[in-house]
Amino acid sequence: MLAYFRGASIVLFGSVYYRQLAYDLLGLFASRVFPLLLLVALIGGGLGIANEKKLGFRFALSAAIYSVVATLWIGIRYDVELLGFLLRLMFDIVLVVLLLHPQSKEYRRIWFS
């Protein structure tokens, strides 16, 4: 559910955080493509996890890790509003922690093997 929520927040509130990292590292074209890939990975990952697919878990985990890195990149490199930054970072870290938690690993071992 949190992957769906993060995907919806990208659509509703914009993707400036995720776009800036790609722009700084790879250029203009990547800054247009990466937020769309992130959105597809989050929504597809949530759908894949719900349907017990390994690829869905990998998509959701990679998108969550990219979200944390992009949020930290913006927070460290640019002057941003502290409360919005901390809330965004909190949800990104919670998604990564929930995906990597030992009980999630146990769930993966039972259902995906």
* pLDDT tens-digit readout, 48-57: 888 878 888 8
Report the 3 state secondary structure along the chain: CHHHHHHHHHHHHCCHHHHHHHHHHHCHHHHHHHHHHHHHHHHHHHHHHHCCCHHHHHHHHHHHHHHHHHHHHHHHHCCCCHHHHHHHHHHHHHHHHHHHCHHHHHHHHHHHC
Indicate the domain borders of the chain. 2-112
What local confidence, expressed as pLDDT, does residue 65 receive?
93
Segments of the chain scoring below 50 in pLDDT: none
